[in-house]
Structure 1
Amino acid sequence: MSSEQLTRASVEEAHKLIKPFIHETPVLTSKTLDKIASTPRTAEELKGTEWEGQEPAKPVLRLHFKCENFQKIGAFKARGAFHAIEKLKQKPGWEEGGSERAKGVITHSSGNHASALALAATTSSIPAHIIMPTISSPLKIAATKSHHPTLVEVHYSGSTSTEREALTAEVQARTGAALIPPYDHPDIICGQGTAALELVSQVGSGPRQLNAIITPCGGGGLLAGTALACSSSPSSGSSPSSAPKILVFGSEPSHQGADDASRGFRSGSRIPTVSSLTIADGLRTPLGKLNWEIIYERRLVADIYPVTEDQIRSALRLVMERMKLVVEPSAVVPLAVALYNEEFRRLVEREGGAKGWDLGIIFSGGNVSVEGLSKIFV
């Protein structure tokens, strides 16, 4: 399917299909974090950065957090997985008792997509073959296995993408299972975009309207889906010109080249490989081809910004201490941009002026163990 065929209407249809299976997660705010985000950084804080010696940005920000850490399996990935399964069930052979359905589905993932697909498939009594690297988090392996004692089968691979894909092809050839990739797939993208669809509606039902949404970016499914969700007005009758424009931004860790999407966005060429051990482990994958088309070639994303490991740690600590929420490092990367990336903050100051911006931030998930958190803050 061409990316041009994917629109806001595609995301709206996905939402109708998966509503019985997902949570409409809450949107939370924090006066404390608004104040911190709206306070200019000091000269000392900018020391050693590319903005050292420059006038600090003075943005006014009101933050709205879409808490997908409260989603089923603890992450937004449930949305795309349920959508992909429900779309498959509409195809010949996927009805109850169908020959294709009996063969099941297959994917490769080290984390949240593995657990999400296992849940979505077994909810409809569909077998799921999950390829997971042996270095995957024990927490995420256990979560994936927990969804069904017999329908879920985990196959262990090497840690590289080449090894994962080779084993996936081997198991698929043996079982005939249908492949559902973790992020670069139309049904996955549209499913993930439903988080932004809800966020816009939830904030818009109050006294505020969003000016922008920023999401984490790994493979790009959530960012591409969000871009589609904000690409035009709702299909309820209002014209695109009458709907407020919501800008969409991405965010990435910069550690060891994990900011492939940001660098590709600026160079005009997708970077196909990433090798990084950033603490934002959900964002270690390269931007997918279909997602690149939506994000860059269709110009549906305004920009993508990187942040450092220390900035991610700082944002994570603030969320845990001030909001009393448990989220994984990947989830706070957008907040780190709003707090610490001067390029983004200057944009908000310039475009928002004295009124400022209402900024939606998608907390992508909360699957992190106590042991994992302790290692991050050592």
Structure 2
Amino acid sequence: MNAAAPLLLDGDDALLAQIRAARVRDVARESALEEAPLLGARLGRRVLLKREDQQSVFSFKLRGAYNCMVQLDAAQRARGVIAASAGNHAQGVALAAATLGIRASIVMPLTAPQVKVDAVRRFGGALVEVLLAGDSYSDAQAAAAQLQAERGAVFVHPFDDPAVIAGQGTIALEILRQHPGPLQAVFVPVGGGGLLAGVAACIKSLRPEIQVIGVQAADSDAMARSLERGERVVLDEIGLFADGTAVKQVGALTFALCRQHVDAMLRVDADAICAAIRDIYHDTRSVPEPAGALALAGLKQYVAAHPADDGALVAIVSGANMNFDRLRFVAERAELGEQREAVFAVTIPEERGSFRRFCATLGRHQITEFNYRIGDTRSAHIFVGVQIASRAEREALAAAFHAQAFDVLDLTDDELAKLHLRHMVGGRSPLARDELLYRFEFPEHPGALVHFLDQLHPDWNISLFHYRNHGADHGRILVGLQVPAAEQPLFAQFLATSGYPHVDESTHPAYRLLLRG
């Protein structure tokens, strides 16, 4: 049985009364509703962030979990509780268990970020048992249901429970109290639908003119598909990047409430989520988890589709339980999410002067990545990433390559290239005779890479080139140059007068193993 049963739909007034009576103040703070001035100026709209990432468990989930568990009677508390969660609900249950003195067993998927697993153990202490099972929330839920049947404990559902929904709905009460003036829309991240159901029901009861818009990851869109079909669907597969909303099937109660109150659903991809994470960081110096940035990614998509509107918009930043090792992926993909990086595969003739023509075509564009390995006597294949300001600039750059008679393949929207191929350019080459391998550093600024290339002797063929912009003050290049033995004194003179710090890697064992022809 669930902690609060049966699942009741007694009308908007009854649910609003449950939201108003929700016991969340024991553990949850009234989170800030903050302006996002940098993003707002860029979008030309007033953007407000509801900072649920500021809660003690770094997400909104403690509201619903505590409101549900505080209502248990003595007999239910004595039996203990069981929960299934991708991470944030688990932390809420753990904190509630420790606060109320209730034993809890929490099942989390094997894919749950370690930062969330560690936090559950920390918040719950000796009262909480953590079990790992399956690859998604749905797998963990099935394991929890079996455990519940064996132990007879009370199941605290992460979203499909009226007390949980009421607890999450208190966020809407706070938004309306904090911003009593006109609002055009509130954007809400969606997994199983508990947050969206509570926020939508509350707002539509009190301020029906405000739009409530749910936002899902495109590869975990169970609610969007269910609302489109008019019935709950079960996804065969779900994406795990936004793990906090990775749910194969939404709740029966949450679906009914969302169907009644939600104005629209939006889907966003991983690149858009990464760009939203960066936007939140720039305005708040906080780093939300992917699910925590979903609502803002949807808000930005909405603004792009409605350029004539001018009303204020709210995005709920739902959590900040980010695994540190995801930050590299986020940083790399944020530029793509904003359409600020274009990625091309360019084929140029393997002849003197063509490489310089290629560099001249790039002009003063900031280069984000440059990969090349000699492999053909007739043509050279270069993988290059370039910062751009707009799609039009991306198209103009592709046209400039074509004007130089270079074959070009635009890979900006190609997932395989963005995720894998950009890191796999290279290998051994029988053509790399007389190759010397050097690392160089130079002050990073627009045009610095092209300036470096201009310093190289025109008779030394570049046989290997790798550069990535890491956002640091200094750029770092790995370059292979074919320098015949007779010209090595001239090469030594170049090194001495170039002014670039450098390291000879020609005898590096990994180079000899993996790249030397």
- Which residue of structure 1 aligns with residue 52 of structure 2? 68
Q: Secondary structure at the match of 1:72?
A: coil
- Which residue of structure 2 aligns with residue 106 of structure 1? 82
The Cα of 1:69 is off from its aligned counterpart by 0.2
**Does the 8 A contact of 1:265 with 1:303 survive in 2?**
no
Give matches, 1:192-271, under 5 Å.
Answer: 192-204=168-180, 208-233=181-206, 245-255=209-219, 258-271=220-233
**Does the 8 A contact of 1:122 with 1:128 survive in 2?**
no
- Which residue of structure 2 aligns with residue 238 of structure 1? none
Separation (CA, whole Å) in 1 of partners of 2:50 and 2:82: 29
Separation (CA, whole Å) in 1 of partners of 2:142 and 2:225: 28
- Which residue of structure 2 aligns with residue 41 of structure 1? none
Identity %: 31
Distance 1:213 1:377, change over 3 A: same
Separation (CA, whole Å) in 2 of partners of 1:175 and 1:271: 30
Distance 1:176 1:260, change over 3 A: closer
Where do 5+ consecutive residues of structure 1 fail to align?
A: 39-60, 234-242
The one-letter amino acid of 1:307's match is: V
Give matches, 1:69-88, under 5 Å.
Answer: 69-88=53-72
Q: Deviations over 1:281-324 (max 9, x none)?
A: 1121132221110111x2x0101011121111111112112331
Could you list the runs of 4 or more consecutive aligned residues of structure 1 that deviate by over 6 angstroms after TM superposition?
Answer: none
**Does the 8 A contact of 2:20 with 2:170 survive in 1?**
yes
Separation (CA, whole Å) in 2 of partners of 1:160 and 1:309: 18
The one-letter amino acid of 1:224's match is: A
Distance 1:126 1:196, change over 3 A: same
The Cα of 1:27 is off from its aligned counterpart by 0.8
Separation (CA, whole Å) in 2 of partners of 1:162 and 1:113: 14
Q: Secondary structure at the match of 2:123?
A: coil
Where do 5+ consecutive residues of structure 2 fail to align?
A: 1-5, 333-517
Which of 259, 281, 301 is matched with 1:320 structurally? 281
Mapped pair 1:287 → 2:250: yes
**Does the 8 A contact of 1:251 with 1:307 survive in 2?**
yes
Which of the pair has more CA radius of gyration?
2
Q: Deviations over 1:137-187 (max 9, x none)?
A: 211111111123321011222225564344323322333210011111111
- Which residue of structure 2 aligns with residue 35 of structure 1? 41
Q: Deviations over 1:92-114 (max 9, x none)?
A: xx2xxxx4322211111121001
Separation (CA, whole Å) in 2 of partners of 1:159 and 1:254: 18
The Cα of 1:14 is off from its aligned counterpart by 3.8
Separation (CA, whole Å) in 1 of partners of 2:215 and 2:101: 36
Q: Deviations over 1:188-230 (max 9, x none)?
A: 11111111110111111xxx33222110011111100111111
Q: Deviations over 1:322-347 (max 9, x none)?
A: 33122111122221122234xx6445
**Does the 8 A contact of 2:65 with 2:96 survive in 1?**
yes
**Does the 8 A contact of 1:14 with 1:83 survive in 2?**
no
Separation (CA, whole Å) in 2 of partners of 1:148 and 1:263: 36
- Which residue of structure 2 aligns with residue 360 of structure 1? 314
The one-letter amino acid of 1:69's match is: D
Separation (CA, whole Å) in 2 of partners of 1:24 and 1:161: 28
Q: Secondary structure at the match of 1:21?
A: coil
Separation (CA, whole Å) in 1 of partners of 2:217 and 2:155: 29
Separation (CA, whole Å) in 1 of partners of 2:271 and 2:103: 41
Separation (CA, whole Å) in 2 of partners of 1:11 and 1:347: 31
Q: Secondary structure at the match of 2:106?
A: strand
TM-score by length of 2: 0.59
More deviation, 282-291/77-86: 282-291
**Does the 8 A contact of 1:8 with 1:229 survive in 2?**
no
The Cα of 1:74 is off from its aligned counterpart by 0.5
- Which residue of structure 2 aligns with residue 42 of structure 1? none
The Cα of 1:366 is off from its aligned counterpart by 0.6
Mapped pair 1:10 → 2:23: no
The one-letter amino acid of 1:326's match is: V
- Which residue of structure 2 aligns with residue 47 of structure 1? none
Higher strand share goes to which structure?
A: 2
Separation (CA, whole Å) in 2 of partners of 1:8 and 1:67: 27
Separation (CA, whole Å) in 2 of partners of 1:75 and 1:272: 26
**Does the 8 A contact of 1:22 with 1:78 survive in 2?**
yes
- Which residue of structure 1 aligns with residue 301 of structure 2? 340
The Cα of 1:15 is off from its aligned counterpart by 4.5
The one-letter amino acid of 1:10's match is: L
TM-score by length of 1: 0.80
